[in-house]
């Protein structure tokens, strides 16, 4: 809240100013009025003021003299002058001394008085930011303070600090969602830290980075670049639905590194291999590696989209319904929950209670092997050996869990893969036949027709996009 003092020798004008403007609409409050500059200075001794609106021509102490005194004693108070049109030279002098704007007295009778306050409010915000910027940039090294990062604008959220221990010049906005509070000494630093903890519940998600004197070596520009480049990623990985406000030391922050294409490709291969479905240790390892990469939300969604599509394609014949991604992952912990929940869902709907967990996992692994080796001549004996089971026991378990014999499942999987190629590629039928494990194109066409009622060429024509 911007606290306003009205200084004007005409009582009626003072009353008109106080009553006519909609101060609250622009986050302002008139905390007092004075009839001359001397009375205004006396008022300032006992009351905090952010903005003085003063006339220029007054007895005892003029507005010009008041501006000089205020700028010498209270450098963080903004001043707006009241004037008549003929006071142009005085207005120029007032602006030279530090006034940020002026109000022509004829505006007091104008129906658009809101525009005047809105203009002043914007000017104050601009002056605060410009003043803070010059203060911060005057030092090559930042000493201590707090960096606040949020998903939404901090302008209204930070207002309580103006009424406590922070001056406007102590705050610098890197953007509407990121600001820096510079603390002047250790005592001031501790007071601000206590204020951050003791304020009522924050209305927005907030990551607070604490900057200690002598414990880091960020310059102003380096800190600004960190914020502008990585804010969204920092919020995504550091906060959670259970902890939407968090304070950590800047040195403890894990800054996203430049990810190599090789590193991303490696994690992608591990995800789409679907080994994480079978083994919990593998899943936790993948999640750990993925978190270390600190990928952007969009890149995470891209990888998960590929993973879900692969799951649905490989296990389409054993899943009761297709897997789906949520509309949005707000935090990294949501990604972890989704993976763990999805793994549990698959086990619940696919695993048979008649067999051990190890046996169920072996059958899921066998299904994955079939998907990856459809172009080869597969037999139940080959796959059983790869999952360390005897052929006879493997055949019993496979049918009980998947609902199909091995040969039935293999045939369905090959036809489904062929459908995909027919719709999404321009490969000739002969090429597709070989890709799904049929060397004899005539036999492939026969099997395909048995499963779909159509020849491959007919199926492609009917489903042509």
Please provide the DSSP assignment of 34-59 as one string.
Answer: ESSHHHHHHHHHHS--SEEEEESS-S
419 against 76, higher pLDDT: 419
**How far apart are alpha carbons 151 and 147 in whole angstroms?**
14
SS3 assignment, position 32: strand
166 falls in which pLDDT band (50, 70, 90)? Answer: low
SS3 assignment, position 181: strand
pLDDT at 106: 65
Q: Which CATH architecture has domain 407-462?
A: Orthogonal Bundle (1.10)
Cβ(55)–Cβ(44) below 8 Å: no
Question: How many CB atoms lie under 10 A from the CB of residue 129?
Answer: 16
pLDDT at 138: 47
Cβ(329)–Cβ(338) below 8 Å: yes
Quick: pLDDT tens for 10-51.
Answer: 888 888 888 878 888 888 889 999 999 999 999 998 888 889
pLDDT at 140: 45
Residue whose token pair is 């949520």: 326
Within 13 Å and on the Cβ side, how many CA atoms surround 188?
Answer: 16
Cβ(377)–Cβ(437) below 8 Å: yes
Quick: pLDDT tens for 364-391.
Answer: 999 989 988 999 999 999 999 999 999 9
Is residue 165 over pLDDT 70? no
pLDDT at 157: 65
Residue whose token pair is 């601000």: 192
Nearest Cα to Cα of residue 274 among 332, 300, 313: 313
60 against 152, higher pLDDT: 60
Residue whose token pair is 């009205």: 6
Question: How many CB atoms lie under 10 A from the CB of residue 284?
Answer: 14
Q: How far is CA 185 from CA 181, 213, 376, in A?
A: 12, 9, 72
Quick: pLDDT tens for 58-108.
Answer: 888 888 888 888 888 876 788 888 876 556 777 788 888 888 888 876 666
Mean of the pLDDT values across residues 401-430?
93
SS3 assignment, position 117: helix
**How far apart are alpha carbons 128 and 151 in whole angstroms?**
22
Lowest-pLDDT range of 29-33, 52-56, 200-204, 339-343: 200-204
Is residue 286 over pLDDT 60? yes
CATH T-level fold of 2-127: Rossmann fold (3.40.50)
């Amino acid at each position: 809240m911007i606290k306003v003092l009205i200084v004007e020798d005409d009582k009626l004008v003072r009353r008109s100013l106080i009553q006519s403007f909609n101060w609250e609409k622009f986050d302002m409050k008139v905390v007092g009025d004075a009839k001359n500059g001397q009375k205004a200075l006396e008022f300032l001794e006992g009351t905090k003021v952010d903005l003085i609106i003063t006339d220029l021509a007054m007895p005892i102490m003029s507005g010009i003299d008041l501006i000089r005194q205020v700028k010498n004693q209270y450098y963080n108070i903004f001043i707006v002058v009241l004037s008549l049109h003929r006071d142009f030279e005085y207005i120029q002098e007032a602006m030279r001394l530090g006034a940020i704007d002026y109000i022509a007295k004829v505006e007091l009778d104008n129906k658009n008085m809101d525009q005047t306050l809105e203009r002043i409010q914007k000017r104050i915000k601009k002056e605060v930011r410009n003043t803070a910027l010059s203060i911060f940039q005057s030092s090559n090294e930042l000493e201590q303070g707090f960096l606040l990062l949020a998903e939404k604008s901090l302008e209204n959220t930070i207002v309580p600090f103006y009424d406590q221990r922070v001056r406007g010049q102590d705050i610098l906005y890197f953007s509407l969602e990121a600001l820096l509070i510079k603390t002047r000494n250790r005592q001031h630093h501790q007071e601000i830290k206590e204020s951050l903890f003791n304020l009522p519940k924050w209305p927005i998600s907030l990551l607070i980075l604490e900057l200690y004197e002598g414990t880091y070596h960020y310059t102003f520009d380096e800190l600004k670049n960190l914020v502008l480049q990585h804010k969204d990623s920092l919020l995504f990985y550091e906060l959670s639905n259970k902890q939407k406000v968090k304070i950590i030391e800047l040195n403890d922050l894990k800054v996203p590194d430049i990810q190599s294409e090789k590193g991303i490709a490696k994690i992608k291969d591990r995800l789409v291999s679907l080994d994480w479905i079978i083994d919990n240790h593998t899943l936790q390892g993948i999640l750990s590696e993925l978190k270390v990469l600190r990928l952007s939300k969009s890149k995470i969604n891209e990888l998960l989209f590929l993973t879900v599509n692969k799951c649905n394609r490989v296990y389409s014949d054993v899943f009761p319904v297709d897997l789906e991604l949520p509309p949005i992952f707000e935090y990294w912990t949501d990604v972890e929950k989704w993976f763990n929940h999805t793994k549990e869902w698959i086990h619940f709907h696919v695993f048979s209670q008649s067999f051990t967990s190890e046996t169920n996992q072996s059958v899921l692994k066998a299904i994955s092997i079939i998907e990856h080796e459809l172009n080869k001549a597969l037999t139940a004996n080959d796959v059983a050996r790869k999952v360390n089971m005897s052929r006879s026991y493997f055949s019993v378990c496979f049918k009980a869990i998947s609902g199909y014999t091995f040969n039935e499942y293999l045939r369905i999987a090959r036809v489904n893969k062929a459908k995909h190629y027919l719709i999404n590629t321009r490969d000739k039928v002969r090429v597709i036949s070989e890709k799904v494990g049929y060397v004899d194109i005539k036999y492939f066409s026969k099997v395909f027709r048995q499963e779909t009622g159509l020849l491959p060429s007919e199926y492609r024509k009917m489903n042509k996009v």
